[in-house]
Structures are given as C-alpha cells and as structure tokens.
Amino acid sequence: MTTGTQAHSVTVRVPGKINLGLSVGPLREDGYHELSTIYHAVSLYDTVTVQPAERWSVHVTGPWGERVPTDESNLALVAAKTLAKRRGRRAKVDPVRIDIDKHIPVAGGMAGGSADAAAALVACRELWGLDHVENDLLELVAASLGSDIPFLLHGGTAIGSGRGEQVTPVLARGELHWVLWAGEGLSLSTPEVYAECDRLREEAGVEVPAPEPSGALMAALRRMDTDEVADALCNDLQEAAVSLQPSLAEALAAGLDLGARGALVSGSGPTVAFLVGSQTEAIDLSVGLAANGPTGDIVRAVGPVPGAQIVHHRSGPEPTRPRTDPDRPGPLGPVVG
Ligand SMILES: C[C@](O)(CO)[C@H](O)COP(=O)(O)OP(=O)(O)OC[C@H]1O[C@@H](n2ccc(N)nc2=O)[C@H](O)[C@@H]1O
Ligand SMILES: Nc1ncnc2c1ncn2[C@@H]1O[C@H](COP(=O)(O)OP(=O)(O)OP(=O)(O)O)[C@@H](O)[C@H]1O
C-alpha cells in the first residue's frame, strides 16, 4: 500500500476451475507431464481472509471445511509463508491468521487448494503493503507452489502450457452454464491419476505425442456456441480417473441422459462438469440429477469469472488500484473492490 497504513484484514474471493480441454504429453524428467490445457474459472468460490496475528494459523469453515488440513501442509499457509520469505529485506511482515470459507470440493479436480494459495498470495500482498511485489514475482511464487496456482491469479478462460504454470488468456465472449457434480465420499489424488494415465498408455503401447490445444475447442470458444463447445470438450485424464473411480462413468452417463449438452471429468477428477445451454437448463438438470442421478453435491455455476480478487478491506486505507466489475474477467492481478 502506498499510504503506509496497514489494513486490519483483507478478504479475497477465488473461483475453482475446470479444464475445458486437457492434452497430456509425455512424462518429463522432473516428474511432471508437459501439457496443453484450456483452463476455465467458474463461479464456485472459496473466500480467504487474512489478518495480523501473534502466530501463523489457518481455520477452515464451510461445506468442505472438515476435509482441509489446518496444519503446516495447508496450501494457503504455505503460500503466505513463502511470500513472507520473498518479500524483500526492508518490508516487515507479521504472521497472519488465515480463515478459509471452503466451497470448492476438496481433492475434486477443481484446484481448490491451489485457489486458496492464490487467494492467500493476493490477500497477504495487500495486507503487508507489498506494492513492490509485482505480478511477475507473484506468479513466480505461485508457480513454485503448484502448476494450477498461476491460473487462479488470472481466472477467465486461458491456455495453460509447460506443466500448466504458463498462462495465456483466451479471448472468449459470452458465458457458459455448468452443473457440477461432486460424488459423495469420492476423491482422487492428482499424482495417482497422472500415474494411472501413464500406466494405461503403456498398457495400450501408444506413442505419446506432444500436447496441443484443441483447434476445435478454440474455434468453438471464439463463437461461444454451446453445442460446439460441448462436442469439443476433451480430457486426457478422464479415462484414468474413471479407471480409478468407475462410478464416474455412471455419473457422466446420467447427466447426458438428463439433458446435459456435454460432460467431462474436471481435471484429475472426480468432480464432473456438465455443460448446459442456459440457467433454466441448469436448474432442470440439477433437479433431475438430485432426483434420479447418483448421490452427490450438485452446484450450478457460470464461467468464465475472474481469478483471485480482493472483495473486502476492514479498517484499511483507500484502494490503490482501480475498481472494476468483479463479475467480469479482469486483467492479471488483484482488483480492489
Ligand atoms: C490436473 C490439473 O489440475 C489440470 O489443470 C493439474 O495438472 C494439476 O495441477 P496441481 O494440482 O497444481 O499439481 P502440482 O501440485 O503442480 O503437482 C502435483 C503432482 O501432479 C502431477 N503432475 C502435475 C502437473 C503436471 N503437469 N504433470 C504432472 O504429472 C505430478 O505427479 C505432481 O507431483
Ligand atoms: N487450502 C486447501 N484446500 C484444499 N485442500 C488442501 C488445502 N491445503 C492443502 N490441501 C490438501 O491438498 C489435497 C488436494 O486438494 P485440492 O482440493 O487442491 O485437490 P484438487 O482440486 O484435486 O487439485 P487439482 O485440481 O489442483 O489437481 C487435499 O487432499 C488436501 O489434503
């Protein structure tokens, strides 16, 4: 902050993501897979609040709160401490208490932990007045902590390359409507799903080509034609996720039978994303799934939405960055609102 006054608390809202396309290349020597993905941030949000405290801590509430670790492994806490170390010598920072209101499914393939890490970075930069920490450095710190985290700073719809940490926004107009289904008691570990993908490929003896973004999906997004997007949805990890969690096949089929235009496993799963044509179709599908689908949490969402954004300062100074409409995808970096 430029005023020298420190905010007493900063609250950031951060969305979950789905991957509209996920092309997984060969395993690299560093243990990651080269990939090309089209990230899409959707309106299912966690809220992360930071405030100065005597010691570092994290507290989690909300529908998925009980599944989130509150020890040193919490990704929001790891992110805050990493930023504190990278702040530069002159800036003094205090420990923070982090409160997370958790609505993004845990271990669901929607990058919930990554979202909280991105939110903690944006919130702590503001709380500590680290104006000198530019977006580039914030992105570097984000990428060092997880492949999906840089995207959660951007939001919107964007191509991810490298191991997913290199993010380029995609110009897409209009909105897509989604119904998200998180099966009761289901979770998948991301490394295990990648390993299963490798195993299935080896078993099939297929040569793994370099990953590429889907031309059909990019064209469909430019036109924002729901049926075209539905036909172009693709996820190289889906077969592996279904292999580890066979009940996902039933969920995918149930949504399509009940009128979804398209369906895919989100990232490494097991959350399933159903694409529909309107809010009315989303309501119809949610009701149909609740009545006749497999048991799980059902949430309606739209995308694209912006990444981690400051939504509240308590007893803080005037915002230092321009206000923008929080419901529209914004430029890289936090927007004070
Ligand atoms: C499945 C996706 O959500 C799709 O966006 C991401 O690729 C996963 O991203 P993430 O959860 O941020 O993953 P990271 O925390 O960076 O990596 C966790 C583990 O996933 C595997 N991993 C991740 C990213 C990648 N490009 N190749 C991989 O093989 C590796 O085993 C890695 O050790
Ligand atoms: N703040 C957090 N929120 C959720 N999980 C966290 C958090 N911090 C650490 N974790 C741990 O990370 C693991 C993965 O959780 P997460 O919700 O990020 O999975 P995911 O959505 O499948 O990830 P991705 O889509 O990025 O592969 C959880 O099992 C949990 O133990």
328 found inside a domain: no
Give the whole-number percent of the chain exceeding pLDDT 70: 91
Residue 142: which domain range?
Answer: 9-171
Identify the pLDDT of residue 189: 95
| 121 in Cβ contact with 138 (< 8 Å) | yes
Output the DSSP codes for 23-67: EEEEEPTTSPEEEEEEEEEEEEEEEEEEEE-SS-EEEEESTTGGG
Q: Is residue 209 located within the same domain as residue 134?
A: no
Residue entry with tokens 């977006």? 135
Instruction: Find out whether the peptide bond into 105 is cis, omega within 30 degrees of 0.
Output: no
Count CA atoms closer than 13 A to 240's CA, side-chain side: 27
| 197 in Cβ contact with 267 (< 8 Å) | no
| 307 in Cβ contact with 154 (< 8 Å) | yes
Domain final position from 155, 171, 187: 171
- Give the whole-angstrom CA distance, residue 123 versus residue 109: 24
Supply the Cα-derived Rg of the chain in whole angstroms: 20
Please classify residue 30 by burial: count the beta carbons closer than 10 Å to its beta carbon, then call 0-12 exposed, 13-18 middle and 19+ buried: exposed
Identify the pLDDT of residue 334: 31
Query: Terminal CA-to-CA distance of the chain, rounded, Å?
Result: 15
Residue 298 token pair: 């059902």
**Ligand 2 pocket check for 126: Cβ under 6 Å:** no
Q: Is residue 156 located within the same domain as residue 27?
A: yes
Identify the pLDDT of residue 227: 97
| 35 in Cβ contact with 22 (< 8 Å) | yes
Q: Is residue 153 located within the same domain as residue 203?
A: no
Residue 205 among known ligand-binding residues: no
Instruction: State the amino acid at position 134 in one-letter form.
Output: E
| 276 in Cβ contact with 261 (< 8 Å) | yes
Identify the pLDDT of residue 137: 84
| Closest to 52 (Cα-Cα) out of 90, 13, 7 | 7
Q: Which residues are catalytic?
A: 17, 148
Identify the pLDDT of residue 7: 58
**Ligand 2 pocket check for 304: Cβ under 6 Å:** no
Task: Kindly report which listed range (38-42, 237-241, 281-285, 327-331) carries the lowest average pLDDT score.
Answer: 327-331
Task: Kindly report which listed range (145-149, 171-175, 245-249, 278-282) carries the lowest average pLDDT score.
Answer: 171-175
Q: How many domains are contained in the chain? A: 2
Measured in whole angstroms, how far is the alpha carbon of residue 185 from the centre of its chain? 20
Pocket test for ligand 2, best of 45, 68, 99, 186 (most atoms within 8 A of CB): 68
Q: Taking the model in full, what pTM does it have?
A: 0.92
The bound ligand whose nearest atom lies closest to the alpha carbon of 270 is 2
65 found inside a domain: yes
Pocket test for ligand 2, best of 70, 165, 190, 248 (most atoms within 8 A of CB): 190
Residue entry with tokens 């469909």? 220
Identify the pLDDT of residue 32: 98
Give the CATH number of the domain where residue 189 resides.
3.30.70.890
Residue 155 among known ligand-binding residues: no
- Give the whole-angstrom CA distance, residue 178 versus residue 226: 11
- ipTM for this prediction: 0.97
Within a 10 A sphere around the Cβ of 196, how many other Cβ atoms? 20
332 found inside a domain: no
Give the CATH number of the domain where residue 50 resides.
3.30.230.10
Residue entry with tokens 């529209």? 328
Domain final position from 140, 171, 202: 171
Q: How confident is the model at residue 90 (pLDDT cuts 50, 70, 90)?
A: confident
294 found inside a domain: yes
Q: Is residue 14 located within the same domain as residue 151?
A: yes
Q: Is residue 94 located within the same domain as residue 181?
A: no
DSSP state of 67: G
Rounded to the nearest angstrom, the distance between the alpha carbon of 31 and the centre of ligand 2 is 19
Rounded to the nearest angstrom, the distance between the alpha carbon of 101 and the centre of ligand 2 is 14
Rounded to the nearest angstrom, the distance between the alpha carbon of 113 and the centre of ligand 2 is 4
User: Nearest C-alpha to atom 4 of ligand 2 is from which residue?
Assistant: 113
Q: Is residue 148 located within the same domain as residue 228?
A: no
Element (H, E) at 64: none
Identify the pLDDT of residue 54: 95
Identify the pLDDT of residue 316: 57
282 phi and psi, to 5 degrees?
-65, -40
Q: Is residue 187 located within the same domain as residue 282?
A: yes
**Ligand 1 pocket check for 29: Cβ under 6 Å:** no
Atom of ligand 2 nearest to the CA of 17: 25
238 found inside a domain: yes
Domain final position from 139, 171, 203: 171
User: Nearest C-alpha to atom 33 of ligand 1 is from which residue?
Assistant: 191
Q: Is residue 101 located within the same domain as residue 157?
A: yes
Atom of ligand 2 nearest to the CA of 268: 27
Task: Kindly report which listed range (40-49, 138-147, 167-176, 237-246) carries the lowest average pLDDT score.
Answer: 167-176
User: Nearest C-alpha to atom 15 of ligand 1 is from which residue?
Assistant: 146
Residue 14 token pair: 């951060």
**Ligand 2 pocket check for 108: Cβ under 6 Å:** yes
| Closest to 285 (Cα-Cα) out of 257, 305, 244, 323 | 257
Task: Kindly report which listed range (125-139, 141-155, 271-285) carries the lowest average pLDDT score.
Answer: 125-139
Residues facing residue 166 across a β-bridge: 161
The bound ligand whose nearest atom lies closest to the alpha carbon of 191 is 1
Overall average pLDDT of the 62-81 stretch: 96
**Ligand 2 pocket check for 24: Cβ under 6 Å:** no
Output the DSSP codes for 72-100: TT-HHHHHHHHHHHTS-SS-----EEEEE
Instruction: State the amino acid at position 254 in one-letter form.
Output: A
Q: Is residue 66 located within the same domain as residue 206?
A: no
| 245 in Cβ contact with 220 (< 8 Å) | no
- Per the prediction, the chain carries an average pLDDT of 91
**What 3-state class would DSSP assign to 251?**
helix
204 phi and psi, to 5 degrees?
-80, -10
Q: Is residue 188 located within the same domain as residue 294?
A: yes
Identify the pLDDT of residue 324: 45
